[in-house]
Homo-oligomer: A and B are copies of this chain.
Amino acid sequence: MAYGYPGGVTFPVVGMVGGGQLARMTHEAGIPLGIKFKLLSDTPQDSAAQVVGDVVIGDYRDLDTLRSFARGCDVITFDHEHVPTEHLRALEADGIPVRPGPDALVHAQDKGVMRARLDAIGVPCPRHRIVSDPADVERFAAEGAGFPVILKTVRGGYDGKGVWVVRSSKEAAEPFRAGVPVLAEEKVDFARELAANIVRSPHGQAVAYPVVESIQVDGVCDTVIAPAPGLDPELAGQAQELALRIAQELDVVGHLAVELFETADGRILVNELAMRPHNSGHWTQDGAITSQFANHVRAVLDLPLGDPRPRARWTVMANVLGGDYPDMYYAYLHCMARDPQLKIHMYGKDVKPGRKVGHVNTYGDDLADVRERAAHAAGYLRGTITE
């Protein structure tokens, strides 16, 4: 890498593609690191574009735009997984380090590729198969998965979008309408959802965060508890090892979130992979020695990684979703007054019902108290709690 920091100080330029809240919080974490952060954002109103100094407005799907953006950067990384693989290969051919690289990132972009690869390296997954039509879904269920079956478009889904739960092949027409490949998965009768988050650098250093519990509501992450309460230490270790092994086998660089199902009989199965800072790691901003965002920046620059250990017995993250009222400012003021220890993280996004517009972190020794404080603040900001 040829570092080109203005004024002769050779601190590098990290280019991030995508202007969402993950880029916003990565910029925040990059400021103390002294790195220069450059953003490619769709619009100037995007969450990160509001706060970053060096912003290029452009379309990441346009290769010329990406190439021009990348020329000012020492490394390219991502707020989202939507950049076409062939564009990433073109950047690499231009000599720009892309981290995670296209060969790794495809596993977070394409659920079919991900499942095939995890099978090949012996990672436990729910039963799954690419299906071609509703009759094929029927066969998949009959082969042992049973109904309901989960159908997912292999590309482009998130936060419950691009995902269907069907009770019979009669309900399975819609996922096939777009003409894109569809993955069928068994509906796992899980006890709870976990996430094993790790960060890996190009030279292979890796750190593992404590395994967390992730509580979803309507397919959207609602609450994360770090560490996962009552988790068998052996299973926690297995989950961390699994995430580290996936990162190594897939050559992931940066933050890797491995979303897991914990079954009632004490097994873990991989649900999803994300190769970027992830909602299940937001607790680290206030609850770990080094946040996922700081470690992601350190990893993509091949800097030594920071200590991932927790700073508190318990940390709870609760997402703030938009409610009916577009102005959160007075609710925000109320939350600060009620709980002077509350850590609020707002994304600068317009409030729309159900949209993630921020999150709160709380921490302490008493889990019930820590959870109540996070839930109250998130609910109050959304407008579902009115006292």
Binding site for B on A (CB under 8 A): 3, 5-12, 24-25, 27-28, 31-34, 36-37, 45, 49-53, 55, 207, 285, 289-290, 298, 303-307, 311, 326-329, 332-333, 336-337, 340-351, 358
Contact = CB atoms under 8 A, between A and B. Distances in A.
User: How many of these chains are in the complex?
Assistant: 2
Contacts of A306: 336, 340-342
Ranked 3 nearest A-B pairs via Cβ: A34-B346, A304-B337, A304-B336
B53 A52 contact: yes
A240 to B, nearest CB: 17
Contacts of A342: 306
Q: Is the interface of A mostly helix, strand, loop or mixed?
A: loop
B304 A340 contact: yes
Contacts of A289: 340-341
A236 B298 CA distance: 39
A207 B290 CA distance: 27
A32 B341 contact: no
A307 B134 CA distance: 57
Nearest to A302: B333
Contacts of A304: 333, 336-337, 340
B343 A32 contact: yes
A366 to B, nearest CB: 16
Contact of A31 (B12, B24, B207, B329): B24
B31 A51 contact: yes
Contact of A9 (B328, B341, B343): B328
Nearest to A285: B32
A45 to B, nearest CB: 6
A14 to B, nearest CB: 12
Most chain B C-beta atoms within 10 Å of own C-beta, residue among A304, A307, A332: A304
Contacts of A31: 24-25, 27-28, 51
A53 B54 CA distance: 7
Contact of A327 (B10, B27, B346): B10
Contacts of A10: 327, 329
Given A32-B344, A344-B34, A347-B34, A8 B55 contact: no
Contacts of A5: 348
A327 B4 CA distance: 12
A129 B31 CA distance: 43
23 contacts: A7-B45, A7-B350, A8-B350, A9-B329, A9-B349, A9-B350, A27-B31, A31-B51, A32-B285, A32-B343, A32-B344, A33-B344, A36-B50, A36-B348, A50-B53, A53-B53, A207-B340, A289-B341, A298-B336, A305-B336, A305-B340, A307-B340, A307-B341
